[in-house]
Amino acid sequence: MGSDMLELNTHQIQMNQRVADKTEALAQLADALENGGLVASGYLEGLTAREAQGSTFLGQGIAIPHGTPATRDKVRSTGVRLMHFPEGVDWGNGQIVHLAIAIAAKSDEHLRLLQLLTRALGEGDITDALRTATTAEQIVDLLQGAPQALALDSQLIGLHLPVEDFDELVWQAGRLLKKAGCAGSGFASSLSRAQALPLGNGLWWLNSEESVEQPGLAFVTPDSPVEYREQSVVGLFCLASVGEAHRQLLERLCDLLIEGRGDVLSQATSSRVVLEALGGEVAPDWPHIRVTVANDHGLHARPAKALTEVAQSFDGDVRVRLAGDEGRGVSAKSLSKLLALGVRRGQELEFLADPAIADDALPALSAAVVAGLGEDVRPLPAPGDAVLATQEEIAECEPAVAALARGARIQAVVASPGIAIGPALVRKPLQLDFPEKAQDAAHERARLDKALAEVHDDITRLIANSSEKSIREIFVTHQAMLGDPALREDVDARLREGLSAEAAWTSEVEAAAQQQEALRDALLAERAADLRDVGRRVLANLCGVESAAEPNEPYILVMDEVVPSDVASLDRDRVAGILTARGGATAHSAIIARALGIPALVGAGSAVLGLEPMTPLLLDADHGLLEVAPDTEVLRRAQEARAAGLRRREQAEALRMEPAVTVDGHAVEVVANVGSSGDAEKAMALGAEGIGLLRTELVFMDHPEAPDQAAQEAEYRRVLDALDGRPLVVRTLDVGGDKPLPYWPMPAEQNPFLGVRGIRLCLQRMDILETQLRALLASAEGRPLRIMFPMVGTVTEWRTARDLALRLRQEIPVADLQLGIMVEVPSAALLAPVLAKEVDFFSIGTNDLTQYTMAIDRDHPTLSAQADGLHPAVLRLIDMTVRAAHAEGKWVGICGELGSDAAAVPILVGLGVDELSVSAPAIPLVKARVRELSNAQLQALAAQALTLESALAVRALVEEHC
Ligand code: PEP
Ligand code: MG
């Protein structure tokens, strides 16, 4: 599977061909495609049929012969073959072709190629250059050589911006370039290092080549002049520079300044004036109409041609652009320009017509598009069943699972960031019904033999198809499990007892898996998961149910909900990404996915369970977006983004040991959340400046009975040793609620999250808290120790716990000790001004704080996705806590999952949080993120976030500004 990309290269081109006529040219092209293994024989019929429907002549000596839907099944893989005819071939109507590009495409992958081609054709006429070309390299250069044009349109102009200083003006310009897709996130910080040049008249110029995605020029003016190097600034040009793309513009700007007309720019009150002065793209102020394209394959050559014919029938200019694009559009009379728009089904076009013809032309164009431009079209989904379904919309249509259409985009909750691309493997709980007993043991044995043999063969195929060694090894192990004689013996014994093959097999596989798990060895426990996996395959075969075939390339695992044990047993090499219908970002499975570094989206709604097996998916867990069967262009961009993400990670990792300091010198401490004493060392190696949350209950859970003081001391010492003098923030035992301890039975509660948990439980069992505090104090041995109590909701709880710690400290002195609380119950945040006078620090547990503020169970299968810590209600509580602490000279950390959310970091830093405690793998990226930001701007941003109405609005604000 994977995407078929259409690329042009010299090997595809046969130069200097001579043919008698078009028929012979098509035959040779079909042969070239067939010899290249792209099509099966018989494709020529498709090429010929397509020409009979309408010539594929594109203009400028180029034709693009391709097949019809009827011959699509002859396409083996998507690709092109090119033939160069210096003497020319008459393609009908006297149109002479010097270059034929024969396309084999299974669907509409070729639209991207057309877009590229037609961009090249847009600039000047290349007919002659094609005819006289002597090498394949020349042809490729001609087709791909169109330089990237400089973007300059109204969205890149910001006039009279309310900025306080030059830096802010620069930042605004960077923001416009970023929003227009010209620059990536490192661009703004590269600008702050660049030297601005004065152009005279108060106009300044600044440019950078770093993190530029396409050339673009922004122009911004302040609402009142600002100072830079003791000179006044009334306007700033900011260039995202690539090669020579800006040359023409610069020349024009110089002419303007030499003519003494610089104030046209600095005093401009509309972007139109600026664009006209600089020759940028000005959209005509003409009547316009919008219409949506419904053709299955978008505006490909044939419908585009039909559209040009309608436009050409009017005597005046007709322009067209994608709706929402503010540029001047392209001529609707030009086939190549129309194709260059790359319009897909479902996209909306906007036609603009010269006022003299608009009354007639606009309705005619719209009607032609609605009628399908000569093709039969399927109606577009009504707005109510839009393909862009939000999570809530999908949740509403539960339980019916509607399949998702190709091109559908779904918003979901980011559980673990990153971008993953791969085929879907939908794992639904199999509904397998089988009889417990059977009459004929021999018959059951034969059935089982057959099932085992078939599953063995299936796995052999998987091994043969798998390019990854590690995956092959797993499958080989699975085969060994199928043939395990001891297992078989046990199963046979069950068959003799009269059990059915299904019942005998399942019960013995489960017993064997449990035996392995009981050995308490991580490796063997993983084997148990494998055993169950194989067991399910065989059972499905016995029941005649096809279990989803495992793709032979890294795939996206689609499930209803992933439980922590599922995630923990996942193989990073096989699972490229995780997508779940239900669940939220702070569920423990999400925390594990993050620790494993597997991109994951959760809470996408049950429609994802209706995905066809092997559907190609793009899981963009950097933006919380899933795309179903994305087109090649989207994939290409995602692959680039993924590569950029990997580069970003590499760069971040290279600098992981450096402190996290904003561009304007504000330091934020970045420390790690760890669950077991063994993880501390790993966290330090990843750049942690300390540990901000040691979840000690995991230490307790690792022991079969309550660990005594000595056992605990050993664990805490191990952590402090790894820290090598860096501070350790320990949370005292936080059990109850969702985290029961097997050896500490608790009465069942109606609402465990609102029951006896965290500090409440410890205050009922002071002996346990005392032992833990003693162990902590004893292990410190002069090293910095901070102890915090979880789930504190009242001042009394805090004081009781503190008094115990202070009493014990008299017995076991610790030089560098701080005592604080976790702020994870709204009452603690609301009481922060009181508590701040007594505590040494606060650490905000946003997972629980969000749960209790929003009244949404953090593990709730469908609601938890809405429990977003960036909700302004939660942010206000964080703000109150930080203000209260700082007023008393105390520090505040964040130890919930929000701290590693790239969108949340700017807001948390802006709110004044002093420390971010995040899962270890996130440390390098969180540090890198802080280094990109300017604290002064973040404060304003955070203040604005507090005034918004929803988490979504806060996320949009961050997306826009950072
Ligand atoms: C929190 O609630 O944010 C937190 C860090 O604690 P836990 O996730 O362990 O409940
Ligand atoms: Mg908590």
Q: What is the CATH number of the domain that holds 931?
A: 3.20.20.60
> What percent of the chain clears pLDDT 90, i.e. is strictly above it?
44
Residue 514 lies in a domain: yes
**Per mean pLDDT, which range of 169-173, 530-534, 620-624, 908-912 is the poorest?**
530-534
Residue 432 lies in a domain: no
CA of 846 to the centre of ligand 1 (A): 7
| pTM of the full structure | 0.51
Average confidence (pLDDT) over 15-43: 93
- For the chain, helix (H) and strand (E) counts, in that order, are 36, 33
Average confidence (pLDDT) over 600-613: 87
CA of 824 to the centre of ligand 2 (A): 6
Band (pLDDT 50/70/90 cuts) for residue 683 is very high
Band (pLDDT 50/70/90 cuts) for residue 4 is very low
Domain stops at, among 110, 144, 178? 144
Average confidence (pLDDT) over 251-265: 84
Kindly state whether residues 858 and 952 are assigned to the same domain. Answer: yes
Domain stops at, among 356, 371, 386? 371
Kindly state whether residues 932 and 795 are assigned to the same domain. Answer: yes
Residue 931 lies in a domain: yes
pLDDT higher than threshold 60 for residue 564: no
Kindly state whether residues 684 and 828 are assigned to the same domain. Answer: yes
- Number of residues that this document lists for the chain: 962
Question: Given phi > 0 = left and psi -120 to 50 = alpha, else beta, which region is 242?
Answer: beta
Average confidence (pLDDT) over 923-942: 95
pLDDT higher than threshold 60 for residue 50: yes
- Higher-confidence residue of 823 and 299: namely 823
pLDDT of residue 936: 94
Residue 424 lies in a domain: no
Average confidence (pLDDT) over 918-943: 95
Residue 590 lies in a domain: no
Which ligand 1 atom sits nearest the alpha carbon of residue 790?
6
pLDDT higher than threshold 60 for residue 389: no
Q: Which residue is listed with tokens 């054709």?
A: 121
- Higher-confidence residue of 664 and 57: namely 664
Kindly state whether residues 14 and 118 are assigned to the same domain. Answer: yes
We report the CATH number of the domain holding residue 301 as 3.30.1340.10
Average confidence (pLDDT) over 384-404: 36
**Per mean pLDDT, which range of 17-31, 182-196, 470-484, 712-726 is the poorest?**
470-484
Kindly state whether residues 693 and 773 are assigned to the same domain. Answer: yes
Angle between helices 166-179 and 935-946 (to 10 degrees): 70
CA of 730 to the centre of ligand 2 (A): 13
Give the integer Cα–Cα distance in Å for 568 and 698: 15
We report the CATH number of the domain holding residue 123 as 3.40.930.10
CA of 548 to the centre of ligand 1 (A): 36
pLDDT higher than threshold 70 for residue 588: no
Residue 591 lies in a domain: no
Kindly state whether residues 838 and 743 are assigned to the same domain. Answer: yes
Kindly state whether residues 80 and 167 are assigned to the same domain. Answer: no
pLDDT higher than threshold 90 for residue 745: no
Sheet containing 197-200: which strands, arranged edge to edge? 157-161, 216-222, 235-240, 203-208, 197-200
Ligand nearest to the Cα of 674, by number = 1
Kindly state whether residues 133 and 14 are assigned to the same domain. Answer: yes
**Per mean pLDDT, which range of 1-15, 260-274, 534-548, 627-641 is the poorest?**
1-15
Neighbours of ion ligand 2 (CB under 5 A): 824, 845, 848
Where in the sequence numbering do the catalytic residues fall? 66, 300, 588, 895
Residue 184 lies in a domain: yes
Average confidence (pLDDT) over 685-691: 96
pLDDT higher than threshold 70 for residue 495: yes
Band (pLDDT 50/70/90 cuts) for residue 115 is low
Kindly state whether residues 309 and 179 are assigned to the same domain. Answer: no
Instruction: Say how many domains are in the chain.
Output: 5
- Higher-confidence residue of 393 and 805: namely 805
Band (pLDDT 50/70/90 cuts) for residue 518 is low
Q: Of 671, 674, 695, which is best to mutate to test ligand 1, by the most ligand atoms within 8 angstroms of its C-beta?
A: 695
Decide: 675 in ligand 1 pocket, CB within 6 A.
no
pLDDT higher than threshold 80 for residue 585: no
pLDDT of residue 432: 75
Looking at every residue in the chain, the average pLDDT score rounds to 85
Element (H, E) at 660: strand 660-661
**Per mean pLDDT, which range of 260-264, 632-636, 707-711 is the poorest?**
260-264
Decide: 847 in ligand 1 pocket, CB within 6 A.
yes
pLDDT of residue 6: 54
- Higher-confidence residue of 178 and 226: namely 226
Question: According to the 3-state scheme, what is the secondary structure of 629-657?
Answer: CCCHHHHHHHHHHHHHHHHHHHHHHHCCC
Band (pLDDT 50/70/90 cuts) for residue 120 is low
**515-551 b/e (C-beta count within 10 Å ≥ 16 → b):** ebbeeeeeeebbbbbbbbbbbbbbbbbbbeeebbebb
Which domain, by its residues, includes 495? 441-543
The token pair at 519 is 């050995």
Kindly state whether residues 101 and 207 are assigned to the same domain. Answer: no
Decide: 541 in ligand 1 pocket, CB within 6 A.
no
**Per mean pLDDT, which range of 329-333, 783-787, 792-796, 939-943 is the poorest?**
329-333
Which ligand 1 atom sits nearest the alpha carbon of residue 898?
3
